[in-house]
Each structure stands twice: as C-alpha cells, then as structure tokens.
Structure 1
Amino acid sequence: MARIVPAEVPYEPSIAAELTRIMPPGVPPLVLFRTMAKSPRVFARMFAGGLLDKGPLSLRQREIVIDRTTARLGCEYEWGVHVAFFAERAGLSAGQVASTVAGAADAGCWTPDEQALMSLVDDLVDRRAIANATWVGLTAHFDDAQILEAIALVGYYHTISFLCVGLELPLESYGARFPMAHD
C-alpha cells in the first residue's frame, strides 16, 4: 500500500482536466498522478516541468535516458510504465530494454550516440557529475540544446523516482517488471 492514499474521483476540476489530457483513452490515471493530485500545487508543478512533449531529442533517445535513469535509481514503477507505454514506439528491443536495467553503458546493443546518453545517466546518478570522457562523447553526437534536454531529463526523472520509491507506490498492473525480478 502506498504511504499516501491516492486521490479518487471526483477530482478537482483542474486535475481532472489534466488527467484526461495526459492519459490514453480508456487507461485509468496512474497511481503516481493520483497521489500527486493530493497536493494540487505539486501536481501542477510536476506537469509544468514535464518533458514528454516533442523536444530536441528523439522519442527513442528520450526513452533511453528515462529508462536508464529510473532503472539506475531502482524505480521499477516509473521504468515499468515507460517501458509499457513507449518502448515499442521508440523501437527498443527486449534486449535493449533489459540493458537499461543491467547492461553496461557501452553495451553493443546501443549506437555510439545512445552509449553517450547511457554514460551521461550513469555519471549523473553515480557521481552527480559528468566525466570529461562522457562530455566528449555527448558533444560528438549532440548539440547544446540536446545535451541540456538530456541532463534535465535525468534530473526530472530522478525526482519522479524519489517520489515513486519514497511513497512506496504499488506497481501498475500493466507496467513492465525489471528483468531480474523474474529470475
């Protein structure tokens, strides 16, 4: 059971409108969103800072950063939701999805630009800094706007991971599970 009981219908009108806008038709609002709805201010700020719109990174690049960040932070909830909703659309194979959890940043299943993104996540999560070698790899493949977007994604999903893990949110029934959970 989550540490904070998620909001239930009827939602505050502004929250109901946002939930309708962001959730696919027929899919109930995520436990995370309903929990954040208990604080309309945090809910509004969370969505104001969201980075799921079209940005300078491709959908695939964005999802690699998000999946690696949430996996490295042990957030099966958010990782599983993103894998369920976006992995196929982003063209991520089952092996690549698994690699976001347990693979090396330079695993052969990734292109050089994707390896640079994986290294960025690992550096920021592990050291809260970016190594010079990682920076060189990033600048070889990405412009300033793309690099800033990738760093912001790591930070945003660090926060989301802290919320999910700290609140002990129950996993969504349709969410993917970390590969090692089935071993």
Structure 2
Amino acid sequence: MTCRIAPAPMPFDPEIAPTIERVMKGQPPLHLFATLARDTRLAQKFFAAGLLDKGHLSIRQRELVIDRTTALCRSEYEWGVHATLFAGVAGLTAEQLHSTAVGGADDPCWTGEDRLLIRLCDALHQGCDVPDALWSELAAHFSEEALLELLMLAGFYRTVAYLTNALRMPLENGVARFPKP
C-alpha cells in the first residue's frame, strides 16, 4: 500500500527531529511519524497530545483502551504497532489481543475492570458518549482524573486511526496484523 502523503525526507526539521528520536529510541521512525514530520507544527501538536507518559492509568489500562479503540476504528497500522511494542509490557495475552480486535467485553479472558474499559471504548465508538449507568460503574473504579484521561486517550487514538486509515499508511514491518475472527 502506498501512503497518500509521502513522508518527510531525512534529516527532519531540527525542531521536531529530537522528539522523534526520543520516542523511537534509536530505531528508524515509524511511517506515521515520518509523515507528520512534513509539518513541524502539526508534528509537535501530535506529540504533545500522545498520552504515553506516566499518567493516571496503568500501562495495561492505557494499552487496552488503545488496542480496542484502534481495532474498532479498523486501524490495523496502529493496532499492530501497539500490539507488538506494548502488549507484553502491559500484560496482555495473545487471547486478549485477539479479543480487542474481534471479540468483546463478555469474552472470558477479561477481568471486571478490563470489561469496563472495553465497554467504555465500545460506547464511545458507537455514540461518542458514555451512558449514565456505565459512567457510574467507571467512577467506582477510576478517579475523575483517570476518567478524563480515558476519554482523551480514546479520542486521541480515534484521531490516530483517522490519520493512518485515510492516509493509507503502509503497515510497519514485523508488527502484528489483525487476527481472523
């Protein structure tokens, strides 16, 4: 697949290059990052909103929301990057990764908290809202700051899915692909 907008040529603009290098930790830049590097302002805005830092969520909670959101949006590119790079650190099993892409909250592989997060992603994806009953359940498990972060995280990765899907971003080499149902 050919990307609809070509990546920026290297070397990248000195205003964004250090940020990409810091995120990539010596590895070649992801296609998405190289494409965003075409416009330093947009790249800086993107990286400023990333939410991959230590916040109010555990790595597992964060990655579960990212994997489910990107799977619901059919962004195989972003789902594959996160499934490959972060699933192990997040403690997500192969069965759970499979469920993020083709299963649901009722799959037996999930804990009660995991089910809440999947239901949150599903509700946001389906109606851009959270029903009151689900909100009450979430509020019993998460601080208000964590709830804000969950909403922002799901929204940010929906934006990432828009980018990767609409740009026809070529899949990265060596990353996971969507499982078959």
The TM-score with structure 2 as length reference comes to 0.96
Hey, what does 2:25 align to over in structure 1? 24
Q: Distance in 1 between matches of 2:46 and 2:161?
A: 13
Q: Distance in 1 between matches of 2:147 and 2:115?
A: 14
Query: Shift of the alpha carbon at 1:137?
Result: 2.0
Hey, what does 1:3 align to over in structure 2? 4
Q: Distance in 2 between matches of 1:135 and 1:105?
A: 16
Query: Shift of the alpha carbon at 1:42?
Result: 0.8
Per-residue Cα deviation, 1:130-155 (whole angstroms, up to 9, x for no partner) = 11232122112111111111111000
Per-residue Cα deviation, 1:79-126 (whole angstroms, up to 9, x for no partner) = 000111100111100000001011112322111111111111000001
- Structure 1, gaps ≥5 residues long: none
Q: Distance in 2 between matches of 1:51 and 1:85?
A: 16
Q: Distance in 2 between matches of 1:99 and 1:130?
A: 21
Hey, what does 1:59 align to over in structure 2? 59
Q: Distance in 1 between matches of 2:146 and 2:153?
A: 10
Hey, what does 1:110 align to over in structure 2? 110
- Structure 2, gaps ≥5 residues long: none
Q: Which amino acid aligns with 1:36?
A: L
Q: Secondary structure at the match of 2:136?
A: helix
Q: Distance in 1 between matches of 2:117 and 2:137?
A: 9
Q: Could you tell which deviates more after superposition, 139-148 or 53-62? A: 139-148
Hey, what does 2:145 align to over in structure 1? 145
Contact 1:71 1:79 in 2 (8 A): yes
Percent identity over paired residues: 48
Query: Shift of the alpha carbon at 1:24?
Result: 2.7
RMSD between aligned residues: 1.1
Hey, what does 2:127 align to over in structure 1? 127
The TM-score with structure 1 as length reference comes to 0.95
Q: Secondary structure at the match of 2:82?
A: helix
Q: Distance in 1 between matches of 2:118 and 2:137?
A: 11
Q: Which amino acid aligns with 1:117?
A: L
Per-residue Cα deviation, 1:22-70 (whole angstroms, up to 9, x for no partner) = 0033x21000000011111110100111100001100000000000000
Q: Distance in 1 between matches of 2:76 and 2:134?
A: 26
Superposed, 1:84-99 pairs within 5 Å as 84-99=84-99
Q: Distance in 2 between matches of 1:24 and 1:87?
A: 18
Contact 1:113 1:137 in 2 (8 A): no
